[in-house]
């Protein structure tokens, strides 16, 4: 997987024209590239290892049979 680096100097208030430019930039990427970038951001936000398979914690979510 490609390694991304966060450029902390890139954050600032953007104009509507600049925002449209970024929207066009990401729409120009393939869906696979957009998903890879989104997954990278999720891993960074939750401090996850992007190479490891993540499983649902079944102790937190349980299915109950609805009474008929």
Q: What are the pLDDT digits (tens) for 48-62? A: 887 888 787 777 776
0.85 exceeded by the pTM?
A: no
Instruction: Please tell me the predicted confidence (pLDDT) of residue 1.
Output: 57
Q: Which of 34, 32, 13, 11 is nearest to 23 (CA)?
A: 34
Using DSSP, state whether 13 is helix, strand or coil. Answer: coil
Structure tokens, 64: 């109950």
Distance CA 46, CA 20 (A): 28
Per-residue pLDDT tens digits of the chain, which is 68 residues long: 567 677 667 667 778 888 788 888 889 999 999 999 998 888 888 888 878 887 877 777 767 777 76
Mean pLDDT of the chain: 81
Distance CA 58, CA 61 (A): 5
């Amino acid at each position: 997987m490609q390694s991304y680096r966060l450029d902390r100097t890139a954050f600032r208030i953007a104009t509507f024209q600049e925002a449209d430019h970024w929207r066009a930039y990401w729409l120009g990427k393939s869906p696979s590239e957009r998903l890879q970038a989104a997954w990278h951001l999720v891993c960074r936000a939750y401090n996850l290892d992007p190479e490891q398979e993540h499983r649902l914690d079944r102790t937190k979510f349980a299915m109950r049979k609805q009474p008929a």
